[in-house]
Chains A and B, each alone.
Chain A
Amino acid sequence: MRRIFKLTLLVSLAFTFLTFNRTLGAHVASFFAQDRVDFVRDIQPIFQAHCAQCHGAEKQSSQLSVLNKTSIARVLVPGNSKNSRLVHRLLGLNGEARMPKGGEALKPEQIAMIQRWIDEGADFPVSASVEAKSTRHWSLVTPVSPAIPSVRNKSWVRNPIDSFILARLEKENLKPSPEADKATLLRRLSLDLIGLLPTPEELEAFLKDNAPNAYEKQVERLLASPHYGERWGRHWLDQARYADSNGYTIDGERVMWPYRDWVIQAFNEDKPFDRFTIEQLAGDLLPNPTKAQLVATGFHRNTVINEEGGVDPEQARVEQVMDRLSTTGAVWLGLTIGCAQCHTHKFDPIPHKEYYQMLAFFNSTMDVNNQGPVVPVVRGEMFGKPETIADPNDATMARRNMMTGELKQGDWERMEIARLERNPAVTAPNQAVEWLPFDIVKFDTEAAGKLQRLDDGSFLIAANGSANDAYRILVRINSPRVAAVRLRVLPHEALPKNGPGLAGDGTFALSEFYIDSEGGRHSFNDAFADDEQSSFPARAASDGDRRTGWAVTVAADNPKPHEAVFVYAKPKEFASRQIQFVMRHDAETGRGIGHFAIEVATETPHDARGAALLTALKQPLNARTPEQQTLVAAAYASARAVRERQAGNAVMAMIMRDVAVPRESYIFRRGDFTRPDKAAGLLQPGVLSAVAPVLSEPGTPRTRLDLAKWLVNPANPLTPRVTMNRIWMRYFGRGIVETEEDFGTQGARPSHPELLDWLATEFIRQGWSMKAMHRLIVNSATYRQSSSARKDLVDIDPRNLLLARQERFRVEAEIVRDAALTASGLLNPKIGGPSVRPPQPDGVYAFTQNRKNWTTATGADRFRRAMYTHFFRSAPYPLFTTFDTPDFQQVCTRRHRSNTPLQSLTLANDPAFLEIAQGLAARLVRDVPGEFAATLDARLKQAFTLCFSRPPNAAELAALHSYVERQVQGFTRQPVSSLVNKDLTQAGLTEAQAAALTAAARVLFNTDNFITRE
């Protein structure tokens, strides 16, 4: 009996890191109860089972390892268990938390055993003492470029990557796979680098090229292709949680495509990853930021926004700020920082407090839920080729009236006369009207601004609200009739330069002013003011265009009150008498009105200046007085200035800015923003102390720029590893660290740790060049291997972790469509710009709360790459959802890759794919002209080349050939017009032949081969 136990003990000791069987431990304890306590036999197993996870070889919480003789000596007094801290902690004495923390208490007999051991002298054999492996988790140690391992099969090695891979394979006595054939290589390379299939011409050129560097030349060609930026930009957009809508119920459209353009351009110009990082996280904080650097900060404006009524703006703001931190953690650090929102991270060194210190970096941004800073951007601007002329095909732009292009004076005069004649204030009798007060029901702002009412009934807003806040004042009017509203802007000593605006120079820019009542918006028909800037006339605050607005000239330090009067063409009757004034400030950043008052009138007041202008305009040019000429010239100049602001295709891109005075940051108890822990003190922005390097002591307040620089500091152990691991993942289907999103202690260990470190250090050595890293990987022999399965690997390495072959995997949703578009030749290769709306089935928005605008593209935009398809978070394009594109409510660092019947139904029956199949059939007829039967095999071979970049083998050709013949017969008996493209019949095919050829194209699109990168 005793021997058996001894044997068991030996076995369990042999596996030092296996959890000791608790029951066995207890048995042993009682069995040996009469003997002197032996550390190895009696104590070590208890420590192993209950303490070593936190205080062992791998990890030493509070620098304590109970398995190390020296370390444990700190917490015990030999011969005196009563005074030993170890025992106190196990019993939970002295008000300290009982150990094991968060686990079950040790059994009384186990504690008694430990006490006896201490009382007997705490004998700890040196041979049993285990040294701490490392005080740090592997991923937190700054990588050092490792030695390149030597290998036996030196001729296989093309670059150091191969040495690392081969050394490991040779250790397992495995041979790498042969290089894939050239056709497969080019298809693989094209899909991986640009996400498009090679054209037959590209394929032919490569097959004919017998130069030793033929492959490398293809790599360079593809890396230089502008489509490279699209392919790798799309991967990045996953991490940026890019979408074209705000999310939640309302899910309104947003302008985010300039940021997408910026990403594409950044990849194409191979912006070094450190710059790439800094510009996206803190471009606005760089000295004199360029517009591109501002647009780059759109990265963190990709958060979801809840536009529902009754949303607490502060709660929404905090949720977005938290999302920004967890996204930053996932993308750059590969750490699950979000876990520390409610408590100190259970497994990784992320204390609760440090979470909130890191959060503080993001806590001072201007945006508050749906209000935030913007910058005007025109199409092509991010590519350095601004298109100042609007696209005539763009319906929205065309609708945004004829207000584009040069404004000719004759045209303007006609429009201006019409406007003035519609303006009732121009024709109203020239007499004073009574301006009436009203009862205030409620007032607030959409974002964080704190509006206050002064004793004289005017409103004042303290500076430092949101950059583009909107004010809402709900009132009860005494008479239901409203003909006009007067908005007075007033100086105030609390404002910069005494106001009346919030801008540093005392100015403001009111973009829109209107009334909401009885469930509807009641925009004014026109407006006039006693003072206005030429490019900001009062009427522009009633024109429905948020890019334009009203501003007054502000005399330095001596501002005067001014007023604008907004009029209705016909006085309105508000039966409920409840009306809400809304003042928007979207045209300019940080230029809200600071001090103002509002009154209403039941009669229309007279606009003397408008009347004078109308009179002048009605005079023939040569009959105008000098005063009239001046008046007209000023009005014309103003109109042109406004037109310039509307200039063609400028849109307002969402960017990041900080408020002037940083917000106060505290720990939130249990992650609840309503429970700031003020007792714990105000927090300064800070980084994770467990991750090198240490931030220097702040001279000035730390900002996002400090955070960004810390992330890409070469001493940061995580950023280069995490980034290279993800790049690797795109090429081999899996990262070297498989849990690419978790480099913490709960994540997977790297399969090739030295390779990962080599790649990380090489990345920095090559100046953070992503193209250099792509070049390195795709030129390796490892990458060039065949992906075919090998029987000899099935048992040894079934998951292909050692990479004795390449990996076969299905392409992403977007590439499924892009591949079909390339094969058919329908692809419109245009890069960048606003999102487009290709055909989608009816009813996708049947139940969305707000009907979405989906005017199906008819022109060239119908066949753009899938990454440009407008992405509504609440109802994504069906193809995307079916093929595992996430809905981008949060960061996505790795997509799932499912294989479902819904995918089959989409590829087979989605009319969008049917249209592309018709396109492919038409292309086959164009590429191989001739009589149907005589050319059939040639056309099918061409189809294989287009779809798979290879010719069919005999069996494949025979199968497809007989399928087509059978379909021709079938369709002759029973015509199917839905498969017939008129280009085909015009080329001389019968309807049955045309349908059969389309059917064949459809078969090819539906094969596994087509949607798989081999």
Chain B
Amino acid sequence: MSDSKNSLQSITRRHFFQQTGLSIGSVALASLLNDQLFAQQIQHHAPKAKNIIYLFMAGAPSQLELFDYKPKLQQFDGQDCPAEYLKGERFAFTKGVPKLLGTPFNFKPRGQSGQVISDLLPHLSKHADDIAIIRSMRTTQFNHAPAQIFMNTGHQIVGRPSMGAWMSYGLGSENKDLPGFVVLISGDNQPDGGKSCWGSGFLPTVHQGVEFRSKGDPVLFVSNPEGVSSDVRRQTLDAIRDLNQTHQQKVLDPEINTRISAYELAYKMQTSVPELTDIAIEPAKTHEAYGTQPGQASFANNCLLARRLVERGVRFVQLYHWGWDHHGNGVSTDIVSALPRATRLVDKPISALLTDLKERGLLDTTLVIWGGEFGRTPVNEARNGSKLLGRDHHPRAFTMWLAGGGVKGGITYGQTDELGYNIAENPVDVHDLHATILHLMGIDHLKLTYRFQGRDFRLTDVHGNVVKKILA
């Protein structure tokens, strides 16, 4: 490479840096100034995981029906909740003195490790030895939107960067043809927190999650206008490049070269994205395992897509599946009838995803995270005298699990009290979870910072401890 080109590139980098905002930290500098913009990552220590698949169960699934079995709760089912629990308590919807509610479902020890998991998750139960169950998660928020935003950004008020944006900012992408942070949505709604859940906050927008859509273009505007062939597209791109280059020679702005590169990457995405999202080419046995149906919008399809994305080096894939808000105030939110329908939609695909990652040797370097934004109460909500079973929002204790990438499988961490109301042992705060996830990715959560409005911000704000006991 000639000297002049080298120096031009160095100007490009500097220029890119300056255009993206000066307050950028040294971490981003490392990634942005890299020749290929997307290839380099910072490391504070050797990472255990390279990629993350985060299965976000929006609406908050009930830990008491799935992972946190409480014999005492069964024993006292239907009795008044003891007053000491209710003192000063505020619920979203529950009124008066509620009754304790034992789960209508059975639990069994599973696998060699004997982890206790509900009958509602027969497929996941086969992976009991792969997952680390945290029964002592807690949050500070008890409404969906702030709790989801807190779980994703470390702060309950909108405006901070999401976890995936921090990853993209700190680690970049491994794939030059795809974004570093991809979001896939299924279920009844978008998560209550909206796009803020995968927003870039005050980080440059290049780090925000790119939503792969299930209808229309998988990535907005990735398709050529109707009838425009890829030949025409190439010729058009060449014409744009020619005009850009001619102008560059006149004004000598290296930013124009960056734009030329962006157009080339866009062109590559026009091929790579449809290829990636075309799950029809997967073998029949894969479809059978996941329960996927090409062309449909489903959580199962998204699980398979997640594997394909991770395979191609996308750093952070986040699946949002809304459909867990089982208050029991109507048949669609009844624990007895609606919850099993909800678990059936996700149980098999998640199990297939774990198996698939394992068989491809990807599970060792892929961290899989499962969980909602808070838990559900050990009491029956009985809103407006409803006879159906349901549980209200419960920030004090809930369950999440992690698997793969540096996590010790087959263990349970933390305990709730006898009624599953409060945490009895080893509480894990949202910031602790974030610190742990960053740690597994090779990042010290204290050092990944970005200066905004005069302050160095972190994903973990001023908190966070790595949960060392779940590390392999």
Contacts and interface: CB of A to CB of B under 8 A. Distances in A.
B142 A1014 contact: no
A677 interface: no
Interface string A739-762: 101101011100000000000000
A959 B244 contact: no
B243 A319 contact: no
B185 interface: yes
A576 B384 contact: yes
Interface stretch (B106-114, B202-210, B405-413, B438-446): B202-210
B145 A306 contact: yes
Contact of B206 (A336, A808, A900, A959): A900
Contact of A1003 (B231, B240, B251): B240
Interface stretch (B120-128, B254-262, B337-345, B361-369): B254-262
Interface in A788-819: 788-791, 794, 798-799, 808-810
A1007 B232 contact: no
A910 B220 CA distance: 8
A967 B454 contact: no
Interface string A3-20: 000000000000000000
B206 A898 contact: yes
B158 A889 contact: yes
A970 B232 contact: yes
Contacts of A798: 11, 14
B246 A905 contact: no
Interface in A874-908: 874-876, 878, 881-882, 884, 887, 889-890, 894, 896-906, 908
Contact of B16 (A899, A903, A906): A899
Interface in A438-466: 441-442
Nearest to A958: B242
A247 B158 contact: yes
Interface in B380-411: 384-385, 393
B190 A849 contact: yes
Interface residues of A, number: 105
A979 interface: yes
A106 interface: no
Contact of A308 (B144, B191, B214, B265): B144
B1 to A, nearest CB: 18
A843 interface: yes
A833 to B, nearest CB: 27
Contact of A808 (B204, B217, B251, B265): B251
B266 to A, nearest CB: 4
B224 interface: yes
A161 B6 CA distance: 36
A310 interface: yes
Given A310-B92, A1008-B259, A978 B226 contact: yes
A726 to B, nearest CB: 14
A542 interface: no
Contacts of A894: 21
Nearest to A251: B194
Nearest to B156: A319
Contacts of A734: 22
Given A898-B205, A906-B220, A960-B239, A979 B158 contact: no
A970 B146 contact: no
Contacts of A897: 19-21
A970 B189 CA distance: 44
B236 interface: yes
Interface in A718-774: 734, 738-739, 741-742, 744, 746-748
A789 B251 contact: yes
A661 interface: no
A963 B243 CA distance: 11
A882 to B, nearest CB: 8
Nearest to B194: A874
B360 interface: no
Given A890-B159, A900-B206, A843 B194 contact: no
A59 to B, nearest CB: 16
B104 interface: no
Contacts of A847: 185, 189-191, 322
A339 interface: yes
Q: How large is the interface on B (under 10, 10 to 19, 20 to 34, 35 or more residues)?
A: 35 or more
A848 interface: yes
B21 to A, nearest CB: 5
Contacts of A442: 95
B454 A914 contact: no
Interface in B181-233: 185, 189-196, 199, 204-206, 208, 210, 213-217, 219-229, 231-232
Given A956-B246, A978-B228, A308 B236 contact: no
Contacts of A335: 454
Interface string B290-317: 0000000000000000000000000000
**Which of B16, B143, B229 has most A Cβ within 10 Å?**
B143
Contacts of A909: 221-225
Given A842-B215, A909-B225, A339 B243 contact: no
B92 A904 contact: no
Interface string B150-194: 000000011100000000000000000000000001000111111
A484 interface: no
B262 to A, nearest CB: 5
Contact of A739 (B19, B190, B454): B454
Interface in B314-349: 322, 330
Contact of B263 (A247, A319, A901, A963): A901
B105 interface: no
B269 interface: yes
Nearest to A874: B194
B74 interface: no
A248 interface: yes
A897 B18 CA distance: 9
A308 B243 contact: no
A688 to B, nearest CB: 15
B43 interface: no
A576 B387 CA distance: 11
Given A309-B92, A887-B199, A976-B228, A789 B236 contact: no
B454 A899 contact: no
Contact of A849 (B90, B189, B270): B189
A887 B195 contact: yes
A963 B239 contact: yes
B243 A1007 contact: yes
**Which of B253, B263, B454 has most A Cβ within 10 Å?**
B454
A889 B196 contact: yes
A902 B204 contact: no
B144 A578 contact: no
Nearest to B250: A788
Interface in A324-379: 330, 335-336, 338-339, 347-348
Interface of A: 247-249, 251, 304, 306, 308-312, 319, 330, 335-336, 338-339, 347-348, 441-442, 518-519, 576, 578, 734, 738-739, 741-742, 744, 746-748, 787-791, 794, 798-799, 808-810, 841-843, 846-849, 873-876, 878, 881-882, 884, 887, 889-890, 894, 896-906, 908-911, 914, 953, 955-956, 959-960, 963, 966-967, 970, 974-979, 999, 1002-1004, 1006-1009, 1012, 1014
12 contacts: A248-B193, A251-B194, A309-B143, A576-B384, A794-B7, A843-B215, A898-B205, A903-B262, A904-B266, A905-B266, A975-B227, A1009-B247
- 7 smallest CB-CB distances across A and B, nearest first, come from A847-B190, A310-B92, A336-B454, A789-B252, A742-B454, A904-B266, A874-B194
Given A899-B16, A963-B239, A1012-B255, 10 more contacts: A311-B143, A441-B95, A742-B454, A798-B11, A884-B204, A899-B259, A905-B220, A966-B235, A974-B227, A976-B232
Interface of B: 7, 11, 14, 16, 18-23, 90-93, 95, 142-146, 157-159, 185, 189-196, 199, 204-206, 208, 210, 213-217, 219-229, 231-232, 235-236, 239-240, 242-244, 246-248, 250-256, 258-260, 262-263, 265-266, 269-270, 322, 330, 384-385, 393, 453-455
